[in-house]
Chain A
Amino acid sequence: MLSIENLSKVYQNGTHAVGGLDLSVEPGAIVAIVGASGCGKSSLLRIIAGLELASSGVVKIDGIPLDGPHDRIGVVFQEPRLLPWLTVKQNVGFGLAHLPREERLYRAELALLLVGLSNKANAWPRELSGGQAQRVAIARALVSRPDVLLLDEPFSALDAFTRADLQRHLLEIWRGSESQPTMIVVTHDLDEAVALADRIIVMRPDPGRIIAELPVNLARPRHRAQPGFDAVRHRLVALLDRRSADAALRSA
């Protein structure tokens, strides 16, 4: 159980990126976070990941406060961030240095199999396409079997086809892993949010906070033509619209 209590972040330049945010995510749930650019989504994820210090508030896993990067939390960034000096397989095994070599390679190969890239195990990262590289990044994050997987706009740099492909892939992997991790996915793609999430969190800036939450009770596997999909999407658009209407009022 991941819980965030009264979390705030004020950067040194005075930007109030997150202001008093509360959120609990039950184990194995998929939560999507949407909101205009600059509303603190990345800041929130970076604090959970331990890459940024909170100004106040706490992030807890099973009641234990976190104070930095944690081995039960995996991260997938917007860019693959593969280490160019390691082969694909070595990249996947990067977080398993504490394991004996055999076990490490076995797990890395297994993870590559899951993301469908066994044939690229010995390739260099520069030899991969954008979508393949991001799949390797997902494999790298999953290989240490985290309880929580954070993804910050993981597919936004990809073309629409690759993106849909990877969303499907991500869900398959998630379903296939022995302990399904909690996933928090930041996205600006509303279809992606509806396709992936059990709950969609809508954030608003200045300071970054949650203004609405939308449960998504659609059957899986989901697809865009499914009954109910558009209804959820419309409610989301309305929520976001209200947001921009408010913003227009405020700046007038």
Chain B
Amino acid sequence: MMNLIAKPSKANIKTYVPIGLFFVSLSFLDVFVNAFFNLNLMGFLPSKLNYFLPLILGFIGFYLIRIEFSGVRFLDVLNKNINSNNLNAILTLFTIFIIIKSIPPMLDWFILEANFAGNSKDDCTGDGACWVFIKVWFNRFMYGLYPDAEQWRINTAFLILFAIVGISFFVSEKLKKYFILFLVFVFPFLGIKLISGGSFGLEYVESAAWGGLSLTFIISAFAILFCFPIGVILALGRRSSLPAIKYISIGFIELWRGVPLITVLFMSAVMFPMFLPDGTFIDKLIRVLIAITLFEAAYMAEVVRGGLQALPKGQYEAAKSLGMGYWRMNALIILPQALKLVIPGIANTLLALVKDTPLIFVVGLMELAGMIGLAKTNPKWLGMAMEGYVFAGLVFWVICYAMSRYSQNLEKKLSTER
């Protein structure tokens, strides 16, 4: 009798694995048909047993296939990662059950019962999401209150940007340098001129009208562009041997890190103008940009400092002993290594920056999430918050995921410990 339930091992692999896999499949199948077709295959069993049956079947199945060093690659990987012991097997089962169970309602809401046709809320008769809302407001979500007739300017600016970035992947290393210089030092100002207008026969569009996803991009891009070098300088300053520079850097970093961004933004919009001499005026968007940039630069500085501290002293000494001065040593030896070390931290800070942009609503600027917030309070479109924020969430996720992947690739590319 004991032999009947011998421990799964290489000896009985031929019988145990097929049986085990059969049990596991049975358990998944039961949950699957239940979730998708509302069928209860085992309905004839007593209700408690019926309820737990998939778990029991799956558990037995997983037990039977848990054979150490089976020699079958698939089985070894599976056992090692999701079936290493009984508790692990149960957690795996639960996770898979929850995923299977949640697919049908999600599918219903997002697609099957969702409404795509029409152009008003009344066209949304199905139980699912009312994507009509997004469709009707799409233009606003992308461009804010920017006049329709002028939107080609934003499109052109971004097209040029993508074109330059695209082409730069295919040109030689030498040319690439000029592409990057152009992107960093010329394009931002060219692009802003194109979008704001006021000269070259372009109609002036005040920044209060900018908004939507394009504003998310503009703010993120500028803040990233400026916060990075400022952060590096602050990090170097904090480690400077000159007390004045050191304490100014520390003071700056700790000041900005200690205040919530929302407060900083509010002050930039409301309090800052009070300190300006009469008659001077700085555009609200620019004030906000400066605020976000300095705020994120303080975080960037601490991330970079982490990298600087991780470098062994010998790197500084070797650079010095070759006759390099402070700036050459940092630019050629220290920063390339320190920054490479902290790419994950830099990516983290920049992702946070992008996701912080919606906070500019406190000063009346509306990027993507802000526009959605505005649209959902429109009397004709009440009750669309879910659709709006799911949409915003997806868009932000795509942006941030792309950035995250890029940073991972960069890390791999720069790794020399092959």
Q: Verify that A and B bind, or say they do not.
A: no
Chain B residues engaging chain A, CB cutoff 8 angstroms: none
